[in-house]
Structure formats: structure tokens, C-alpha cells
Amino acid sequence: MIEVDVTVIGGGIIGCAVAAEAARSRREVVLLEKEPRLGGGITSRNSEVAHAGLYYRPGSLKARSCVRGRRLLKEFCARAGVDYRETGKLIVATTAQEEPELARLFALGHENGVEDLALLGGQAVAALEPAVRATAALHSPRTGVLDAEGAAKAYGRLAGERGAQILTEAEVTGLAPERGGWRVAVRRGSENWSHRSRCVVNAAGLHGDDIAALAGIDVDAARLRLRWSRGNYFDVDARHGGRVTRLVYPVPPADGSSLGVHLCLDRTGQLRLGPDVEELPERREDYRVDPSRRAAFFAGASRFLPFLTLADLTPAMAGIRPRLARAGEEVADFYVQREEGDQAGLINLIGIESPGLTAAPALAELVGQLLVAT
């Protein structure tokens, strides 16, 4: 039977970054992605924002990995020739009642180690972005946008250059502990095989809980069952392209369920609104955007983008998040764990939603440390 050191399950940006990190020390690494291309799932269906690290509980893995990951991601994209732009971001208050939240986020970001934050008054906001209506704002100049799928593929190439084997359209169908490692069963087209792996890294995104269950974990008892939520986006008419040059976010909802419907920029400067949060009653990879959601998008965004008309908005795309938090509960931190006992040799990354894209290289570093200790 073929034997390898590390099997990485999942070829999004996190799995690809993990494979590149694992292969750095000349381990035998195989990455298995069940879809036809790397970075084609969660990685390619989001705002493509490199977050600064403002929103997350100090000391949490989300906070630590976001701040470090952003710095690493910027450096990696520069070396790999992947498009990355520090557009900056404004979090805007549209009433005096919202302004104390900006001060809270400023303090939170400062505690998390976010660089160059500034609180701005209404006139300063207007000087930066004349088309934006705000009484005050928090300016985060280090926030950026990037080619997320391109970054995933670049990490995949780096992993390959370091000797990792990258297999797409390769679905893991079985995981069983065996002689201090794992027997990994794989289906690829009409071909089926098993190999033995000393360690397995579960970076399967939307299906992270399914892989954990396949490895024998009771995901309900462990509170690792994922809830899927869809984030919808609407394009803004191209005539407004370039009218706003930074990302613009509202003060986030008090329940912490999202960052609020915000203004995104693609890498050409075109404007897009989203995402919202649409709870999915069943787990289906359905990426259709309901046009009837347009009115809610317009109502939220027109508070700080007064130039918008309802007719400016057309359905664009949707993405799906793998969330560990349940309705009414505090948003969960990332779950990154080296399992013990019957699951020794398994490292799970579960519930890696936003800011997972930004955090990817830092999470890969962490997995690399866990592999050394396994």
C-alpha cells in the first residue's frame, strides 16, 4: 500500500496553503480536492476581502490568525504575482447614535494589533469619499481585496513545487485509523484506491463535519455540526464604477450575525453589494440569488450610498458559509484541533468562515506546528 506523511482533504485556499506548509519540510504530502479545480468553492464565492482584524474577540483564533494572515497573504501575493490591492475600508455611522460603536471597534482593532486605524468625522469622510454619506467613520487603510481563487492556485503550485501531489476530482470516501495512522479511501472517476497516511488534515470547508464524522467523531455531541448560510450579492450598475474607491461597511448589526450589507469593490473598481445572511433550512449547494431580496439590499445600502437607485441593483452571485454558531448563540471561533485518542493523527479545521480567506496562511502555519507535534 502507498504510504504518505500527510493527506490534506480540501483544495480551497486553506487546504492549498496547508499543503504548501506541510511540504516545506520535505514531507510526502497529497492534497485531495473533490471538485474539478482548486479554489472553486467557498474560496471563489465571497467578497475577496483581506480583512484587517477589527471585529473579533481579542485573543481568539479568528483575531490572531486574521491579523497575521493578512500580512502573510499580502507578502505571498506579491511574491506569487497574485493581484492584491490595499483599497482601505470605511466603517460608517449614519447617525450620532451609531458613532459609539465606531469607538468600540477602534479599541477592539487596536487591541488585536491592527495597524493605522483612524476615527474620522463627517467632513473627513466626505473628503475621502464624496459619494458616501456618513456622520463619522472608522478608517482601516490596511484592508484590501485580492484574487482569492488565484491565491489558492498559487499556494497549490507552491505545494507542487515542494513535492506535494495535487489531485482534483478526488473524493475521500473513507477514513479509518490504522497502525498509528489513517487508511484513506479515495474515489476518482471510475478509479478507487486506499493509501495509508501518518496524518490527515481536514480542510474540507462546507463538508468539514462530514469528514470528521467519517473519521468516527460524533459531530453533534462535539458541537461540530455545520449550519450553512447563503450570502447573496447584487451588482451595482456599471455607470457608478469608480464612484467609490474604498470598501464601505455600515456599523455591524448588534446581534453579531454579520458585518451588514456592505459595498465591495472587485479588482477593476466595479461596485457590488453584499453579502446578506440567508439561513438555509437544508444543506444544498444552491447559489441562485432571489431577485426579491433587492429591496432589502437597497434599503440598507442607500443609507450611506445616497446615489443608488433601486434599478441600479441586479442579482450577481452567492456563496455559502459553513457556520458553527446556532441562532441566538455567540458566533463561534474557528475550530482547529489536533484530535487525540481514537482520532490521533487527525487535524480538523471546521467552521472556517470569514475571515478564513485572510487567515489562511496563518492557519497553515498553525497546522504546520501541530504536524510537528503529531
Indicate whether 255 pLDDT > 60. no
Whole-angstrom distance, CA of residue 355 vs CA of residue 53: 8
Q: How confident is the model at residue 329 (pLDDT cuts 50, 70, 90)?
A: low
What are the angstrom distances between the C-alpha of 212 and each of 172, 260, 306? 12, 31, 47
How far is 70 from 54, CA to CA, in rounded Å? 12
Q: What pLDDT does 268 receive?
A: 82
For residue 237, the tally of other CB atoms under 10 A from its CB is: 14
Cis before 58 (ω within 30): no
Q: Are 168 and 35 in contact (CB under 8 A)?
A: yes
Residue-level pLDDT at 26 = 85
**278: three-class secondary structure by DSSP:** strand
pLDDT, tens digit (0-9, with 9 covering 90-100), for 51-66: 999 999 999 999 999 9
- Per-residue pLDDT band for 13 (boundaries 50, 70, 90) equals very high
pLDDT at 2: 86
- Pairwise CA distance, residues 314 & 307, whole Å: 16
What's the pLDDT score for residue 77? Answer: 98
Question: Is 330 exposed, middle or buried, given 0-12, 13-18 or 19+ CB atoms closer than 10 A?
Answer: exposed
Give the mean pLDDT of 321-344. 85
Q: At what angle do helices 61-80 and 148-161 cross, to 10 degrees?
A: 80
- Which pLDDT score, from 0 to 100, does residue 330 have? 64
Query: Between these two residues, 127 and 374, which has the higher pLDDT value?
Result: 127
Contact between residue 261 and residue 351 where contact means Cβ atoms under 8 Å apart: no
How far is it, in rounded angstroms, from Cα 103 to Cα 118?
10
Average pLDDT over residues 317-343: 86
Band (pLDDT 50/70/90 cuts) for residue 325 is: low
Q: Give, rounded to a whole angstrom, the gap between the first and last alpha carbons of the chain.
A: 22
Annotate 118-151 with DSSP letters as a single string: EEEEHHHHHHH-TT---SEEEEETT-EEE-HHHH
CA distance to 109, 128, 129, 183, 359, per residue, from 64 (Å)? 11, 29, 30, 33, 8
* Cell numbers linked to 269: 473598481
Other Cβ atoms within 10 Å of 277 Cβ, number:
16
Sorted by where each starts, the structural domains of the chain and their CATH numbers stand as 3-46+149-225+331-372 (3.50.50.60), 89-141+227-323 (3.30.9.10)
Percent share of the chain, pLDDT over 90: 91
| Residues 297, 298, 300, 301, CA torsion sign | positive
Q: What is the pLDDT of residue 253?
A: 74
Least confident of 218-232, 302-316, 320-334, 338-352: 320-334
What does the mean pLDDT of the chain come to?
95
pLDDT tens profile 261-319: 899 998 788 999 999 999 998 999 999 999 999 999 999 999 999 999 999 999 999 99
State the average pLDDT over residues 209-236: 96
pLDDT for res 266: 84
User: What is the predicted pLDDT for the residue at 365?
Assistant: 98
Q: Check residue 257 and give its pLDDT.
A: 57
Place 254 in a pLDDT band, splitting at 50, 70 and 90: low
pLDDT, greater one: 252 or 49? 49
